[in-house]
Amino acid sequence: MKKTLVILAHPDLENSVGSKTIIASLSKLPNISVLNLTALYPDFNIDVASEQTALAEADLIILQYPIYWYNMPPILKQWFDKVFTFGFAFGAGAQLTNKTIISSVTAGAPESSYPEGEMKRIMLPVKATAAFCKINYLNPIASYGIYSSPDQDAKTRANILKIAQTHAYKLESLITNF
């Protein structure tokens, strides 16, 4: 069975409904490893060798993160900058060639807040990185309206949970059929 590596980059996982639900669901599947970058590297001092080893062993790489101001969280950008090096991610001896990557993103705002094609533009850095490194790029799975706060009513929180569970099911299906 193919190995899946989930790179989780959420700056406030404890208060997340979306990413926390998605990760809990995926963690039950076989051959899944989850690396929580925020927990592992609160000082942003990434263990490059460890991250590269995990990537080299994976067949499918899932980037799980919330969209923050039309971008990825800073820890994920730092991870890319440090881990995707010459001789590992690209160039002679590249170890990521023909692996597969997908972004699994949550957005607090409703989909209507993103003009047509906006999410595709937000995903361009990941798509371009994949192309440069000869990694197979899958279109992202995105869910919208997943913003939770303590003052929300039970119905709103239940709806957010349902959106997150549907998102998790899509990823589970992808992994199972990969």
Strand partners, 136: 100
pTM: 0.95
Where in the chain are the domains?
A: 4-177
pLDDT grade for 173, boundaries at 50, 70 and 90: very high
Q: Is the pLDDT assigned to residue 148 strictly greater than 80?
A: no
The string of pLDDT tens digits covering residues 65-109 is 999 889 999 999 999 999 999 999 999 999 999 999 999 999 999
Regarding the domain with residue range 4-177, which homologous superfamily does it belong to in the CATH classification? Flavodoxin domain (3.40.50.360)
- Is 121:159 a contact under the CB 8 Å cutoff? no
The string of pLDDT tens digits covering residues 33-71 is 999 999 999 999 999 999 999 999 999 999 999 998 899
